[in-house]
Amino acid sequence: MKKHAKDAKYLHKISHKRIDPPALSGRTGLPALIEEAFLSYNAGRLREACRLFTTRFLDEKTTVGLSLSGALSPAGLCISCLVPLVEAGFIDWIVSTGANLYHDTHFALNMDMHQARPGLNDLELRKHQVIRIYDIVFDYENLLGTDRFYRTLCRGDAFQKNLSTAEFHYLAGKYLAAREDEQGGRHRSLMAAAYRCGVPIFTSSPGDSSIGMNLAALQLEGSKLRIDPLRDVNQSAAVVWDAKRAGRSGVFILGGGSPKNFILQTEPQIQEVLGLDEAGHDYFLQVTDARPDTGGLSGATPQEAMTWGKVDPDMLPDTVTCYLDSTVFLPLLTVYALATHAPRQQRRLMDRLADLTRELEKAYGATRKNRKE
């Protein structure tokens, strides 16, 4: 009996709550659905992710960084989810693939994207100049028109200088926001929303997208526009350095790949390379369909990231990994967050990016005096 009582006490200690959910009905709201029916397995991790995001991430002292990979913008997820999250002050800075930003531009230019189905005849699509992304289809002219937009825009005097990707996207976002306003429609573009809200958007591989391809063509014309990826490294590290001095840093990772590495490498840059006293990101939320046992970064766990200094070891309980499709996860999180948390004051980091970088430079200069190299 004593052993049974001891075991029951231990069970109670590790229990979140007894599994005894209410019956769902057509009147069950989404937050209640997640709280009451998403109890175990990947559904349980989704519930934990929603709670982590709305409590820790959305605390007024936490700076929220988002990494974005996978073809989310063509599927309309920037319009339905990321634009509302940015406008609510729930995302403070972003690292995205260039492809997501290129396809995001289609919506600012009012180009059509269409739902279809997988398994279409790709030879027929090619014959009719239709582009396919799994079950999304659109006219080849969308690509040509978006290419023309970027080449024409970036021939302008405002772009004839060295820019980080955040500075480039902010400047391009200014014109996309103006285009949206001219069309008199609702706000659909993530880049335009980021411009309006002062949210920096970095691209870790600026040459690896159609935007980069068009900028490369302009270089052949003699354009003076140069994208400086090393500037990105310092500016993104400066954002995190400021976040940790003023409060906490949370990283929200959709997918993996280069954007995931770039948002996480800010901490090794601060600690290992610049020699500044730091411990790692405080909050880590990852949505991925990649397995950790293949050794790839996309599936790497927060515990593994901790060994690199990317995640604060004291904050590992405040990490969640969801093995889910981002296209399923993101709409659920968006509604849950908007329904359960009031909008935050926008940090407008883009307005202070130059000052933040100078502060990081100053801190590094002081540290260098005490380092032997």
Active-site residue list: 310
- Residues with Cβ within 8 Å of 86's Cβ and at least 6 positions away in sequence, in order, are 190, 193, 194, 197, 199
Q: Residue 176 is encoded by which pair of tokens? A: 């996309």
Please report where in the chains the tokens 């969308």 appear, as a residue: 142
55 close to 285: Cβ distance less than 8 angstroms: no
Q: What are phi and psi of 217, to 5 degrees?
A: -65, -40
- Residues with Cβ within 8 Å of 172's Cβ and at least 6 positions away in sequence, in order, are 150, 153, 154, 191
186/205 Cα distance (integer angstroms):
30
At 370, is the secondary structure helix, strand, or coil?
coil
317 close to 166: Cβ distance less than 8 angstroms: no
- Residues with Cβ within 8 Å of 11's Cβ and at least 6 positions away in sequence, in order, are none
Residue 254: closest CA among 322, 184, 162, 182: 322
Q: Residue 322 is encoded by which pair of tokens? A: 């969801």
What is the sign of the dihedral through the CA atoms of 261, 76, 338 and 84?
A: positive
35/43 Cα distance (integer angstroms):
10
Element (H, E) at 148: helix 140-154
- Compute how many other C-beta atoms are within 10 angstroms of the C-beta atom of residue 273: 12
90/81 Cα distance (integer angstroms):
11
CA–centroid distance for 357 within its chain: 21
